[in-house]
Every structure is written in C-alpha cells, then in structure tokens.
Amino acid sequence: MDALDRLQDVEGRYEVIMGELSQPDVANDTDRYTKLMKEQADLEPIVSKYQEYKKAEETINDSLMMLDEESDEDMKEMLKEELNTAREDVTRLENELKVLLLPKDPNDDKNIFVEIRAGAGGDEAALFAGEIAKMYQSYASKNHWKAQTISFSENGIGGFKELVFTVNGNSVYSKMKYESGVHRVQRIPQTESQGRIHTSTITVAIMPEAEDVDVDIDMNDVRIDVFRASGNGGQCVNTTDSAVRITHIPTGIVVSCQDEKSQIKNKEKGMKVLRSRILDMRMQEKQSKEAAERKSQVGTGDRAEKIRTYNFPQGRVTDHRIKYTSHRLDAILSGELDEIIDALVAADQAAKLANLEN
C-alpha cells in the first residue's frame, strides 16, 4: 500500500470516528468515548494536512485546464503564478505528510520518571544535578505539566547525589525522551581558588511510566524495607518509618521513595518507579539488539552516551548528537528547552525518513 492509499484509509477512519462520536450511546459509554476521542485527536492533524494537500492538487489541475483555454496574457501570468504556488505547496505538504505517517512511538503519550545522578566531579557534579533538575521542572511548568519529587539524596551543600521525580502531562515522553544520557558541565567551581575550569558530569534517565499491563511483577520477587525519611519533609520526618525501599530480586533494581508521609503511598509510588525501571531495562535491551533502528534514532537509548555539554565561560550549550550549538545557556537552564528539543525531533524524523527510503 502506498502513502496515498494510507492517507485515504486514515481519512475514512476519521470520518467513521466522527460519526460514532455523534451517537448518543457512544457519548454515554465513557471508556469508548475516551478511546475514540484519543484516536480522533491523533488522526486529525494527518487528515487536516491531507485535505490541504488535495486542495493544492485540485488547484494544479484547475490551473492547467484554464491555461489551455485562456488567451489573455495577463490572465495566463496569474494562472502560472497560482500553478507554481500550488506545486510548491504540494511538495511541502508531501514532506509534512511523510513525517506525520511515520510509525509513532507507543510510549510518546506517557508520563515519565526522571532520574538524575551526579557522576564525575564530586560536589560540583551534585550541584549541577540540582540545576538540571530545576531546568526540567521549569520546562515542565512552561508546558503546563506537573512535576513531583519521588526521592532524593542530598550532598549537604545544596546539591543532589541522586534525584527522582515524575512529570505528568500531555505527551511528555515524546519530547523528554531525548534527554537520556550523560550531561557534561564545564565551569569554574565556587570552591576553585585559582580560577581553573573543571569538567563534571551527571547522568539523566528518562523512563516512560509503565502501567500494570506493561510490566507484570510477581510480588514474591520483591523485598520491601521501611526506614525513616530524611531531609525537608515536615514534622513527620525522622519520627515514623514512612520511607520505603523496594528491591526487585531477579533484576537487582532498588527503588527508594520518601516523598509521602504515608508508607502506603510511598510503596505505591515506589512500585510505579520499579515498573518503569523494568520497562526501561527491557527497552534498552531491545534497542541494543536492533542496531539498524538505533542508528535511525537520536540518542534515546545509550545511558553512557555523552549527549550535551554546558560550557559556562562561553555561555554555550552543545548537543553532540546533532552538532547543535546554542549560545543561550542562561535561557536554556531556566527551562527554555524547545529550541534544542525541536532540533532533536527534526533530526530524528529526518533519520527515520532516510531509513525508510533506503
């Protein structure tokens, strides 16, 4: 089936959905209505672009027919101009439709867990881990997403050895998935008396939130320990064993959660993190086996890959995967990540299109 056939099928399916949504029995069935609305929202951009494409094609045919019949030179020039514009539109719309028809990542609509860990660089790395966490939380706020802390381990001077938080909202993973990897910072630490530039690193892991249907965990394979929470958390901190540590014995994955005052709520959150880590581990294994597919994507897999450098003396941020450099370091650290993420999305789409054509 070629792209035109697929577009006709998509348009037909869209019309069927719109017809079903107008039926009273569907509106009274919440699950069915929600599912149809989700599918309608996914198809609408493709259908809208396809209708625009068909209109441009129609303009080309009409202009060619009128040019054959027209004798007035001024009118012919107008028709030729209209024809050239329509042809340019068709070329542009064909490319846009190819992107819209690319297979969608099944995790794109999911919420995420963000894990940030200090790497090389000691306290400086821990401080930078805190700054990157604030960058993502600011970006979440700008997108009207909700970020919520799950667990953290402080270094005593305002930094974090490890920080885990959720981000919930509309299609969070589709944008944030490109952030996984090693982030490097180059700057003069406040504790450096001789003004030397130091290089430190942190690792970021972006994991789609796993549902029960995605990962089935046998509770016989899980050990749960409780302990007293530490850090800022109100009067209950250090007075009750509300924090939870969950160990998945088959994989060795350990999850801690201390954000809630309730042990039950911490256990629920911890199990969500565990499911997501197991799903992420499976995704990593799958991606490592599919070398050809890995090359068609922009660094959404390898946690050891150095993906970005934040150079403070030069006010520069460089994403090494796509050779993209921005001199808006302060703006990016304040959460203005769209310019980098948009460039990564475009590069990923271009690589996937090239892979399909080869």
Amino acid at 209: E
Q: Which residue has the tokens 């911490």?
A: 266
Q: Is 295 exposed, middle or buried (0-12, 13-18, 19+ CB in 10 A)?
A: exposed
Mode of pairing for the β-strands spanning 146-154 and 160-168: antiparallel
Contact assessment for residue 6 and residue 97, using Cβ atoms and an 8 Å cutoff: no
Residue 10 tokens read as 């998509």
Give residue 214's pLDDT band: very low, low, confident or very high (50, 70, 90): confident
Q: 112-351: which CATH architecture? A: 2-Layer Sandwich (3.30)
The reported pLDDT for the residue numbered 199 is: 92
Domains 3-100 and 112-351 share a fold: no
* Sheet of strand 243-248, all strands in order from the earlier edge strand to the far edge: 222-227, 243-248, 253-257
Q: Per-residue pLDDT averaged across 99-128, rounded? A: 90
Query: In the CATH scheme, what architecture does the domain 3-100 have?
Result: Up-down Bundle (1.20)
Ordered DSSP codes for 9-52: HHHHHHHHHHHHHTSHHHHT-HHHHHHHHHHHHHHHHHHHHHHH
Retrieve residue 335's tokens: 């959460």
Where is average pLDDT lowest: 88-102, 196-210, 247-261? 247-261
pTM above threshold 0.85: no
Give the confidence band of 231 by pLDDT, cuts at 50, 70, 90.
Answer: low
CA distances 216 to 114, 166, 204, 274, 278, Å, are 21, 21, 25, 11, 10
Two structure tokens written together for 215: 């990962």
Instruction: Give the start-to-end residue ranges of the domains of the chain.
Output: 3-100, 112-351
When pLDDT is cut at 50, 70 and 90, the band that residue 301 belongs to is very low
111: CB partners within 8 A, 6+ apart:
166, 167, 168, 169, 172, 173, 208, 209
